[in-house]
Structure 1
Amino acid sequence: MSTIKQVQLGNQGLVVPTIGLGCMGLVGMAGGDMYGKADEKESIATIHRSLELGGNFLDTADLYGPMLSERLIAKAIKGNRDAYIIGTKFGFEIDDSEQLVGKINGSKSYVKKAVERSLQNLKTDYIDLYYLHRLDTNTPIEETVEAMAELVKEGKVKYIGLSEVGSETLKKAHAIHPITALQSEYSLFERQVEELGILDTLKELGIGFVPYSPLGRGFISGDFQKPDDFPENDFRRVLPKFQGEQFNKNLDLLNEIGKIADEKGVTKSQLALAWIIGKGFVPIPGTKKIKYVEQNIASTSIELSKEEVDRLEAIIPLGTVTGDRYDESGMKGVNL
């Protein structure tokens, strides 16, 4: 069994491996497949292989499916729950018929409802890291965090986190109950949390950072040379980053990244993950294939010199326009 270095995520005591496994793509999603077709047997085998290699930090959400990702994880971890560290998220309101309502709900009553449902889906009596998936602008963050803090007292949740919030929200939340981690999109192609000073706030407050989509939603793999290469019904087809001339501009940048990867004898994806891990962050790349989880975990042993980091960051300096990561409505819900 390979041993991945363990790190403390934030300063509240949660210890995790230096890389996690994003579990959104392990299942299909309502309205279409997010990242191509998923096979349950292969998805479970991927989780098991990750554990064999020391990758026991799984990230999911009730949104994924909805509910399907949490339930698949329950099957994968059955009889071995305590070997895993499970993070899940709530906030996108889901009704009793498991349909998305179309709004974010961070009210105290919904927090309690959502956690019970996730515990049932995961077939566990505790969640290691419980995040608010998006900020509910109609509910004070203090109310949401107070309700999450009660879950900690009850033993249903060990640590709490937030996703896609800005510095002021982090400060308000952290004053109510210590926040262990922030989860937001971050990659060589998406560094807004850095530009907005959110990373500085995390450092100031002692909050860990869990970047999702650390491979630019798979773009950094180099498998997609034109927008039509994305699978049919794949939501990446409609993201601004992957439209028309912007796609071509980003492809040129990726080719420059590839030159450094070739020099180092690693894949572009491994280089991108090593860059994030070197900053002390815990990325959660998603995959549903064993070969990719093996490659991703191998990136934890890659060390980059300051010169290599500087060269990488010079290819896509802060402020470089690589295209919005969501459509207009989606962008209104991030970094709030």
Structure 2
Amino acid sequence: MNGKEFTVSEVVDHLGVNGHTWLMFFLMIFAMIFDGYDFMVVNTTNLFVAHTFWPDNPNPGALMGSLTTWGLLGMVLGGAVGGIMSDKIGRKKMLTIAVIFYGLFTLPQAFANDLVFFAAFRLIAGFGVGSCIPIVTTVFSETIPSKQRGVFVTIGMAGMVAGWVLAGVVGNPICNTATPILGGFTNEVTYLNADGSSATMYANWRLCYLIGALPIIYGIVLHFFMHETPHWYANAGRMEEACKALNHLQRSAGQEETHFDPKLLVVPPKPAKTSPNILFSKKFIVPTAAIWTAYFVGQFCVYGMNAWLPTWFKGIGYTPSE
């Protein structure tokens, strides 16, 4: 840039919001929608899955909670690993792998007939679900100009909530359909009610997990349409590729290409390494406790209550559909 040193962030901010920004935004938001659907689908279907797995148990509440737990454990592991791996192999490659991964391992859950089989694949799929979240957040921060970043990130991360809603909107009518949607695959199930009477349903919940395998296709879309971020190229020491990526941004913004000299591209120094112990130091212990408490309560409300409330509502007289 006229013989001056420059950073990737300076170029991104200078170009502003452009076609590339919108492309990456919509690719990321759909990744989060699929991610949210894949997680919340178990809370939408767990009552019906429980009746299929334990038809002789009139109060499968505790067992229903276990259906959700395995996915959460996978998310914890995936969230810890996803960001680290994207630093090593790239945002595009890791996000594509994660999306295909959780779609691929959601598919077998549609064929489950017992907890062990379901839990194993739920745990594995959760690893991919958890991996997506830090990668998408990172891509947002590296793609969107700093002035608009807060708005774009907020709306983009709301895509996961949209996925939760979609899981309920899609799952409720499917699970409560009074006829088998996919013939013998969605088999008839006779189960006991709390009052000792028996009832029948069809295991149409299996279709919800077939739908949850759609990210396999979306992963292919990411492979062909997503671009690696110039930030990652620069941080990986691949300066020439970073400059080519910046040229692509210029074309997307309708600007004439500039010669970016790889030798003048400056990468901000990485912050000094420290250990997690600093979070519990005298300086940070209060904000650490406050943030962890708030996050715990939020996660309990979103995930924990969704796993248990269906049984409670049914116990006081509501039907599964209600």
Same fold (TM over 0.5): no
Whichever of the two has the greater Rg, that structure is 2
Greater share of residues in helix: 2
Greater share of residues in strand: 1
Q: Which range, TM-score by smaller chain?
A: under 0.3
TM-score scaled to structure 1, two decimals? 0.22
Could you say which structure has the greater relative contact order, defined with CA pairs below 8 angstroms and 6 or more residues apart?
Answer: 2
TM-score scaled to structure 2, two decimals? 0.23
